Amino acid sequence: MRTTVGSLLVLLLGMVLDLHPRPAAAAEEGLVARGKAVYEVSCVICHGPKGDGKGLTGVIHRAQAHGVVIQLYPRDFTAGMFKFRTTPTGYLPTDDDLLHTITEGIPRSGMPSHQDVALADRQAVIAYIKTFSKRWQEEEAGTPVKIGKVPTYVSTAESVKRGKELYKKVGCFQCHGLSGKGDGPSSDTLKDAWGDKILPFDFTSGTLKMGSGAVDIYRTFVTGLDGTPMPSYEESLDEQQRWDIVSYCLDLMQQWKPQVVQQ
């Protein structure tokens, strides 16, 4: 009788603690191993063997392509901090966010597009880069910020005018400058979370790092770019004010790049 109760307890305990190896865990290990192989071919030169952003080019911080010098600051994955998210500030990005970054690359940064890498390999490398920071075991990714349809008043003269006032009032100009050239009064003093100098976006240079449509601009200042001085304005603006600021940003971009596509 005692043994029966004893073995039943062990069995129950085993079920609760899940002592048997799970097929899911084995599959995850396989995915991580595949991701490591992809990383070593496609990412290690910049992001480094330890995922700390100190690969070969990450140490040099400069690369030359087609006569243009690019400043290279590959992301340090050990911090578990990401700029390009659909999730609120302070939250981890979703797998879709990471897939977007890896697939499309990041314009103006040296982070290349990986459209030529098979989808399953891009998914595996996501599992692998998550092993560099404990955050991924301790926290869930955030829930993407909801963005409604672009209102019809976006880019109307009245909306641009209201947006211009707000751009000054809430302080965008402090960094991005009154003319949007990224030359505001604070622009020279900005550093990112890793202590590297960082410049505010120059609207006249056109391409945003995470997409250049109305929705992308909206997302940038609602979620903020974690690890950079670019703040989140999630709490401080109402819906119309947000879209008015988008109107003004698009206007700044169009003054110099008339071919910018609006969503």
Report if residue 46 touches ligand HEC, rule: CB under 6 A. yes
Q: What's the rounded Cα separation, in Å, for the pair 184 and 195?
A: 20
Structure tokens at 263: 């969503």
- Contact with ligand HEC (CB under 6 A): which of 245, 250, 251, 252? 245
Among 220, 263, 238, 244, residue whose Cα is nearest residue 156: 244
Q: Which secondary structure element, helix H or strand E, spans residue 70, and what is its range?
A: strand 68-71
Q: How far is the CB of 263 from ligand HEC (least distance, A)?
A: 14
Report if residue 130 touches ligand HEC, rule: CB under 6 A. no
**Shorter beta-carbon distance to ligand HEC: residue 18 or 188:** 188
Report if residue 91 touches ligand HEC, rule: CB under 6 A. no
Binding to ligand HEC in span 132-191, by CB under 6 A: 170-172, 174-176, 186, 190
Say how many residues touch ligand HEC, by CB under 6 A. Answer: 50
Could you give the string, one character per residue 220-239, with x where binding to ligand HEC holds by CB under 6 A and - elsewhere?
Answer: xx---x--xxxx-x------
CB 253 within 8 A of CB 203: yes
Strand partners for 14: none
Report if residue 111 touches ligand HEC, rule: CB under 6 A. yes
Neighbours of 7 (CB within 10 A): 10
Q: What's the rounded Cα separation, in Å, for the pair 207 and 254?
A: 11
| Nearby residues of 157 by Cβ (< 8 Å), 6 or more positions away | none
Contacts to ligand HEC by CB under 6 A: 42-43, 45-47, 57, 72-75, 82-84, 93, 98, 101-102, 106, 109-112, 114, 125, 129, 170-172, 174-176, 186, 190, 198, 200-201, 208-210, 217, 220-221, 225, 228-231, 233, 245, 249
